[in-house]
Amino acid sequence: MSKFHELINRNTPTLVDFSANWCEPCRKMPPILNEVKAELGDSVNIIKVDVQKDKKAAHKYEITNIPTLLLFKNGKVIWRKSGVTGAREISNAVKKRS
Protein backbone atom coordinates (compact mmCIF):
# COMPACT_ATOMS: atom_id res chain seq x y z
CA MET A 1 0.00 0.00 0.00
CA SER A 2 2.94 2.38 0.56
CA LYS A 3 3.76 2.35 -3.19
CA PHE A 4 0.12 3.29 -3.85
CA HIS A 5 0.32 6.23 -1.44
CA GLU A 6 3.66 7.31 -2.89
CA LEU A 7 2.19 7.40 -6.41
CA ILE A 8 -1.04 9.23 -5.56
CA ASN A 9 0.82 11.87 -3.56
CA ARG A 10 2.99 12.96 -6.49
CA ASN A 11 2.53 16.19 -8.41
CA THR A 12 2.26 14.10 -11.60
CA PRO A 13 -1.37 12.93 -11.99
CA THR A 14 -1.93 9.26 -11.17
CA LEU A 15 -4.89 7.47 -12.71
CA VAL A 16 -6.04 4.49 -10.64
CA ASP A 17 -8.15 1.78 -12.27
CA PHE A 18 -10.13 0.04 -9.53
CA SER A 19 -11.24 -3.30 -10.97
CA ALA A 20 -11.44 -7.06 -10.46
CA ASN A 21 -10.34 -10.01 -12.59
CA TRP A 22 -13.83 -11.51 -12.71
CA CYS A 23 -15.43 -8.25 -13.95
CA GLU A 24 -16.17 -8.38 -17.68
CA PRO A 25 -16.36 -4.57 -18.20
CA CYS A 26 -13.05 -4.24 -16.28
CA ARG A 27 -11.36 -6.38 -18.93
CA LYS A 28 -12.11 -3.69 -21.52
CA MET A 29 -10.06 -1.06 -19.69
CA PRO A 30 -6.41 -2.20 -20.20
CA PRO A 31 -6.29 -1.49 -23.96
CA ILE A 32 -8.04 1.85 -23.38
CA LEU A 33 -5.57 2.78 -20.64
CA ASN A 34 -2.67 1.70 -22.86
CA GLU A 35 -3.96 4.13 -25.48
CA VAL A 36 -4.12 6.91 -22.88
CA LYS A 37 -0.58 6.14 -21.72
CA ALA A 38 0.69 6.11 -25.32
CA GLU A 39 -0.84 9.56 -25.88
CA LEU A 40 0.12 11.19 -22.58
CA GLY A 41 3.40 9.40 -21.81
CA ASP A 42 5.12 10.46 -18.61
CA SER A 43 2.59 13.20 -17.89
CA VAL A 44 0.43 10.57 -16.13
CA ASN A 45 1.00 7.46 -14.04
CA ILE A 46 -1.54 4.67 -14.50
CA ILE A 47 -1.97 1.89 -11.97
CA LYS A 48 -4.48 -0.90 -11.43
CA VAL A 49 -5.92 -1.82 -8.04
CA ASP A 50 -7.78 -5.11 -7.63
CA VAL A 51 -10.66 -4.35 -5.27
CA GLN A 52 -10.62 -7.89 -3.92
CA LYS A 53 -6.92 -7.81 -3.06
CA ASP A 54 -6.86 -4.25 -1.72
CA LYS A 55 -10.14 -3.94 0.13
CA LYS A 56 -8.82 -1.10 2.31
CA ALA A 57 -8.24 1.20 -0.66
CA ALA A 58 -11.57 0.23 -2.22
CA HIS A 59 -13.35 1.01 1.04
CA LYS A 60 -11.43 4.24 1.66
CA TYR A 61 -12.33 5.64 -1.76
CA GLU A 62 -15.91 4.29 -1.63
CA ILE A 63 -15.59 2.09 -4.70
CA THR A 64 -19.04 0.56 -5.13
CA ASN A 65 -18.99 -0.02 -8.89
CA ILE A 66 -16.21 -1.36 -11.06
CA PRO A 67 -14.42 -0.38 -13.11
CA THR A 68 -13.97 2.98 -11.42
CA LEU A 69 -11.24 5.41 -12.37
CA LEU A 70 -9.87 7.92 -9.89
CA LEU A 71 -7.39 10.60 -10.90
CA PHE A 72 -5.15 11.77 -8.07
CA LYS A 73 -2.80 14.71 -7.84
CA ASN A 74 -0.89 15.56 -4.67
CA GLY A 75 -2.94 12.97 -2.78
CA LYS A 76 -6.34 14.40 -3.71
CA VAL A 77 -8.98 12.92 -5.98
CA ILE A 78 -9.42 15.43 -8.79
CA TRP A 79 -11.62 13.36 -11.13
CA ARG A 80 -13.74 10.21 -10.81
CA LYS A 81 -15.62 8.09 -13.32
CA SER A 82 -17.32 4.69 -13.05
CA GLY A 83 -17.93 2.32 -15.93
CA VAL A 84 -16.04 1.66 -19.13
CA THR A 85 -14.70 5.02 -20.25
CA GLY A 86 -13.18 5.93 -23.60
CA ALA A 87 -9.57 6.99 -24.09
CA ARG A 88 -10.49 10.47 -25.33
CA GLU A 89 -12.59 11.25 -22.24
CA ILE A 90 -9.85 9.98 -19.92
CA SER A 91 -7.09 11.88 -21.77
CA ASN A 92 -9.14 15.09 -21.73
CA ALA A 93 -9.77 14.71 -18.00
CA VAL A 94 -6.06 14.31 -17.31
CA LYS A 95 -5.09 17.22 -19.56
CA LYS A 96 -7.63 19.56 -17.95
CA ARG A 97 -6.38 18.75 -14.47
CA SER A 98 -2.62 18.53 -15.01
Q: Give the helix ranges, DSSP H, for the chain.
A: 2-8, 29-40, 55-60, 87-97
Q: Which domain holds residue 39?
A: 2-97
pLDDT, one tens digit per residue, over 60-78 is 999 999 999 999 999 999 9
Task: Indicate the pTM of the whole model.
Answer: 0.94
Number of domains the chain is built from:
1
Of the pLDDT bands very low, low, confident and very high (cuts 50, 70, 90), residue 3 is confident
Question: What percent of the chain is helix, strand and coil (3-state, nearest 5)?
Answer: 45, 25, 30
CATH code, domain carrying 15: 3.40.30.10
26 flagged as catalytic: yes
What sign has the CA pseudo-torsion 86, 40, 42, 31? Answer: positive
The fraction of the chain above a pLDDT of 90, given in percent, is 92
23 flagged as catalytic: yes
pLDDT, one tens digit per residue, over 8-26 is 999 999 999 999 999 999 9
Give the residue from 74, 23, 13, 76 showing the smallest Cα distance to 50.
Answer: 23
Please name every residue paired with 48 in a beta bridge, in sequence order, or none if there are none.
17
Question: Out of 23, 78, 84, 87, which one is annotated catalytic?
Answer: 23
Question: Out of 26, 32, 46, 66, which one is annotated catalytic?
Answer: 26
